[in-house]
């Protein structure tokens, strides 16, 4: 190897090492988002107020005395949209017994899309938009949609499903309350 080739190789190597060092420094200086609060299991329904798309408000305490299913969902969530007909079917099956459903659209959704979806699919239950995320926080920092809570007549959370619930199990649970 000639002296000129060795010199060019050394400069290339030095430039590569310098570029890697600068890239590593840049990565260390990138602000990482604050860690999300962990999901928390809850045993009682939090004292929250649900504001329906219609403007009607209902406090969680006003729901005592009847079984309630609270479903966190989003219009951009494929699993949520796939399960919505099952939520409607479940509501229609159990509503004559006083069963209630509250479908809570998460804060990352768009209120117009939620309202359009609810109207287009004639959702027969209460639909809420959680604009500030307070309902998700109140229900143990819900971060995954769909997330479904089954609540008994005394306001106790009997079961939390993350993802599509096993519908046979869910119906059996509702039969018992």
Q: Which of 122, 125, 151, 144 is nearest to 74 (CA)?
A: 144
Token pair for residue 150?
């089954």
pLDDT 10s digits, 82-125: 999 999 999 999 999 999 999 999 999 999 999 999 999 999 99
The residues, ordered by sequence, that sit 6+ positions from 53 with a Cβ below 8 Å of its Cβ are 111, 114, 115, 118, 127, 128, 129
pLDDT 10s digits, 66-94: 999 999 999 999 999 999 999 999 999 99
């Amino acid at each position: 190897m000639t002296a000129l080739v060795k010199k060019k190789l050394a400069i290339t190597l030095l430039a590569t090492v310098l570029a890697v060092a600068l890239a590593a420094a840049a990565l260390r200086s990138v602000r990482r988002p604050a860690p999300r609060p962990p999901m928390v299991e809850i045993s009682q329904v939090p004292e929250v107020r649900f504001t329906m798309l219609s403007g009607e408000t209902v406090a969680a305490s006003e729901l005592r005395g009847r079984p309630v299913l609270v479903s966190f969902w989003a219009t951009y969530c494929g699993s949520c949209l796939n399960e919505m007909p099952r939520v409607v079917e479940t509501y229609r099956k159990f509503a004559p017994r006083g069963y209630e459903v509250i479908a809570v659209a998460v804060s990352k959704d768009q209120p117009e899309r939620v309202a359009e979806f609810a109207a287009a699919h004639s959702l027969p239950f209460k639909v809420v938009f959680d604009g500030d995320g307070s309902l998700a926080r109140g229900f143990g920092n819900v971060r995954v949609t769909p997330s479904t809570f089954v609540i008994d007549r005394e306001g106790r959370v009997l079961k939390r499903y993350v993802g599509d619930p096993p519908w046979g199990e869910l119906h059996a649970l509702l039969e018992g309350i």
